[in-house]
Amino acid sequence: MSESHNRYDFSPIVERKHYAWPGGKSLAFYIGINIEHYHFLAGGGMDPHNRGGPPTHRNFSWRDYGNRVGVWRVFELLDKLQLPASILLNSSVCDKYPQIMQRIKARGDDVLGHGVTNSQVSRGLSEVHEGRMISEATDKIEAATGVRPRGWLGPGATSTAVTPDLLKERGYTHVVDWPCDDQPFWMRTRAGPLLSVPYPMEMNDAGAQVLRDHTAREFCDMIVDQFEEMLEQSERQPLVFGLALHGYIVGQPYRMRRLRTALQHCLQPKYRERLWITQTCGIAQYCMSLPPGLIPGS
């Protein structure tokens, strides 16, 4: 087993060159919505009432709540706040939930590949089988949206040693699978460079509210604290604030109420003038336009 992945070099954030986001903004701000399909009584998943146990009909129903109810509340909130989103999409959603696909297209959201279903993760797959899974998910999303996805998050946030190579070889330009930085950086693959765009493990309702049992108030306090600290830090260098959400988690009414308050706080006029409100595709496209030497790994 290799001691290192050799995908990127160590780069302390305090030693990097300065640049700015479009319009001279200092903090890139984006919302990522995970929209997923799960098999009934099969595969893995998060169940706070049955940690580590097999999937049950109640766990399936809880997650199905996200597609039937929760994600619609998230969409409504983002519409009212005039926020775009990056959609982390299981390709099974394209066939199973046509109304969700219609809403995504009507909003014009950025769509990233997120596997076929979160009941089938990348971990343990052979290179051949993982390549087929990526191709199947990519082709299905392109057929459903008319746009070939260029960004990727593995199903269940899983990956293998060759995932970056397989993605690059299939036309992907960026991944959000590597939460090791607050700035984008270039990764090495056998087919050329692949951009890593920051995607949060901490500012993620799945990790915070399901795996670590934070309350709705605690999670929204985390959002505000993360945002305000990053806004101050971004006075010295450009940073990316990402927030990852799931309809079956924050779409619960009591959590939605707190989320609305937190986002309204972050979008106050005194803050908004310093924000680049964007999507992962916008971050990737802008980074690709910068001269070599600014983004680590370029």
β-pairing, 275-277 with 27-35?
A: parallel
Among 55, 37, 223, 190, which Cα is nearest to 116's?
37
pLDDT at 52: 80
Q: Cα–Cα–Cα angle for 209, 45, 76, nearest 5°? A: 55
The pTM for the full model equals 0.96
Note the helical H segments in the chain: 57-65, 71-81, 93-96, 98-107, 127-145, 163-169, 205, 216-233, 247-250, 253-266, 269-272, 280-289
End-to-end CA distance of the chain: 28
pLDDT at 44: 77
């009584």: which residue's tokens?
41
Residue spans per domain, the chain: 28-289
Q: Span 28-289: which CATH code?
A: 3.20.20.370
3-state secondary structure of 205: helix
Q: Which residues pair with 113 in a beta bridge?
A: 89, 152
State the burial class of residue 33 (Cβ atoms within 10 Å of its Cβ: 0-12, 13-18, 19+). Answer: buried
pLDDT at 53: 82
Alpha-carbon distance of 195 to 193, in angstroms, equals 7
Residue length of the chain: 298
pLDDT at 2: 61
Contact present, 209 and 219 (Cβ < 8 Å): yes
Each residue's pLDDT tens digit in the chain (298 positions)? Answer: 567 899 999 999 999 999 999 999 999 999 999 999 999 998 877 788 888 888 899 999 999 999 999 999 999 999 999 999 999 999 999 999 999 999 999 999 999 999 999 999 999 999 999 999 999 999 999 999 999 999 999 999 999 999 999 999 999 999 999 999 999 999 999 999 999 999 999 999 999 998 889 999 999 999 999 999 999 999 999 999 999 999 999 999 999 999 999 999 999 999 999 999 999 999 999 999 999 999 999 9
